[in-house]
């Protein structure tokens, strides 16, 4: 016992001291230094990637408001044109008058992987001076509930990229609803 504990224990009358010690019963005394040392508990490791993935999902849910059926409600093919670009340019892209100079296939990738691959692909296309590219995101036929996972995400991400002037759903011969044809800025612009 500590010095304070000994002085109080001996200050008690003998009968109270006996009653006190009886009440303690099988109490284990503290270590000599007077502190309780709990046995170390090994916690299971938590992968840091789990926290990173959860943060990314929360961020995307707040900043990537995409509905998988947005373009099926109107029955129209998806298309995007940046303000200032003529509708004729969009029409030429839709009719296949632009030849794809590069292609990216995102099949089998997660959203995070697809977003990273898309950014790297667009950077490389810009560096090489490619003007028209095809991005294959898939139709979702192999996905759970046969819903496209990447389709609208890719289209949303493209609208956020400064180098993208326009995109249209690919012609059936180029992948139809599973791909988009993208027109990029000129490297000199």
Query: How do residues 155-174 score in pLDDT, each as one tens digit?
Result: 999 998 999 999 999 998 88
Q: Hunting for tokens 């943060």 — which residue is that?
A: 55
pLDDT greater than 50 at residue 9: no
Higher pLDDT, 147 or 100: 100
pLDDT level of residue 144 (50, 70, 90 thresholds): low
Neighbour count for residue 37 (Cβ, 10 Å) = 8
Stated pTM of the model: 0.61
Q: What is the four-CA torsion angle of 169, 175, 176, 182, rounded to 10 degrees?
A: 10
Is residue 56 assigned to a domain? yes
Is residue 1 assigned to a domain? no
- Residue-level pLDDT at 165: 94
Q: How far, in Å, CA of 1 to CA of 11, rounded?
A: 14
- Residue-level pLDDT at 78: 78
Is residue 105 assigned to a domain? yes
Name residue 183's beta-bridge partners. Answer: 132, 166
Is residue 36 assigned to a domain? no
Q: How many domains does the chain have?
A: 1
- Residue-level pLDDT at 122: 94
Neighbour count for residue 103 (Cβ, 10 Å) = 13
Contact 184, 168 (CB under 8 A): no
pLDDT in tens, 93-104: 999 899 999 999
Kindly report the CATH number assigned to the domain that includes residue 80. Answer: 3.30.1370.110
Highest-scoring range by mean pLDDT, 25-34, 142-151, 172-181:
172-181
- Residue-level pLDDT at 146: 65
What angle is formed at CA 98 by the lines to CA 86 and CA 120, rounded to 5 degrees? 95
Is residue 60 assigned to a domain? yes
What angle is formed at CA 96 by the lines to CA 107 and CA 177, rounded to 5 degrees? 35
- Residue-level pLDDT at 54: 76
Is residue 175 assigned to a domain? yes
Q: How far, in Å, CA of 122 to CA of 75, rounded?
A: 29
Phi, psi of 161 (to 5 degrees): -90, 130
Range of the domain at 62: 48-184
Is residue 32 assigned to a domain? no
- Residue-level pLDDT at 74: 42
Is residue 137 assigned to a domain? yes
Contact 116, 33 (CB under 8 A): no
Estimate to the nearest angstrom the gap between the alpha carbon of 16 and the chain centroid: 67
- Residue-level pLDDT at 77: 67
């Amino acid at each position: 016992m500590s010095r304070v504990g000994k002085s109080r224990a001996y200050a008690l009358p003998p009968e109270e001291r006996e009653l006190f010690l009886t009440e303690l019963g099988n109490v284990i005394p503290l270590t000599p230094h007077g502190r309780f040392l709990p046995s170390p508990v090994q916690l299971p490791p938590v992968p840091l990637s789990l926290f990173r993935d959860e943060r990314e999902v929360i961020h995307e849910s707040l900043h990537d408001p995409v509905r998988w059926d947005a373009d099926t409600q109107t029955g129209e093919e998806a298309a995007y044109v940046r303000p200032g670009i003529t509708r004729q340019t969009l029409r030429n892209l839709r009719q296949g008058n632009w030849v794809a100079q590069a292609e990216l296939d995102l099949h089998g990738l997660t959203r995070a992987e697809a977003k990273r691959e898309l950014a790297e692909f667009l950077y490389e296309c810009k560096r090489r001076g490619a003007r028209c590219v095809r991005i294959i995101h898939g139709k979702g036929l192999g996905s759970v509930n046969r819903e496209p996972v990447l389709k609208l995400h890719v289209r949303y991400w493209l609208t956020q990229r400064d180098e993208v002037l326009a995109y249209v759903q690919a012609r059936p011969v180029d992948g139809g609803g599973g791909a988009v044809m993208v027109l990029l800025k000129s490297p000199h612009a």
